[in-house]
Amino acid sequence: MLFGAPETALLNETIASHIELRRASAAHLPGAARAISRRSSRRPTGSIAETLTQGLVGPQLLVQHALFTLLPIAVELLTVVLVLMHFGHAGYLLIFVPTALAYLLVFRRAAARVMTPAG
């Protein structure tokens, strides 16, 4: 299962609000509803709901990644630096910082290689 309960609830809420919006448009704005219907009839079924869902889930994934991946790494690195400096071992930072930067470069290169299409 790719999505958990919160993502499924968000998807269901998005689809329900999309259905409500279409009903409201049809009831209150017949001309606009007809124009939307004509335009959306050329699209595959569910494509508008899928676009809306992706638009809502995308920022949520970015925030989730930043909160649960990037923030803990930053806190951990800051803690290591502060502990080394507090106990008077700042010389180890000359080893730690270049090693951390080298790790980032190797990880970035490997990630770029994985993301390139085969062929």
Tokens representing 109?
Answer: 């290169």
Distance CA 17, CA 38 (A): 20
* Whole-angstrom distance, CA of residue 19 vs CA of residue 23: 6
Whether the full predicted model's pTM is greater than 0.85, yes or no, is no
Q: What is the pLDDT of residues 24-79, one digit of tens each?
A: 655 665 665 566 666 656 667 777 788 888 888 888 889 998 999 999 999 999 99
CB neighbourhood size of 53 (10 A): 19
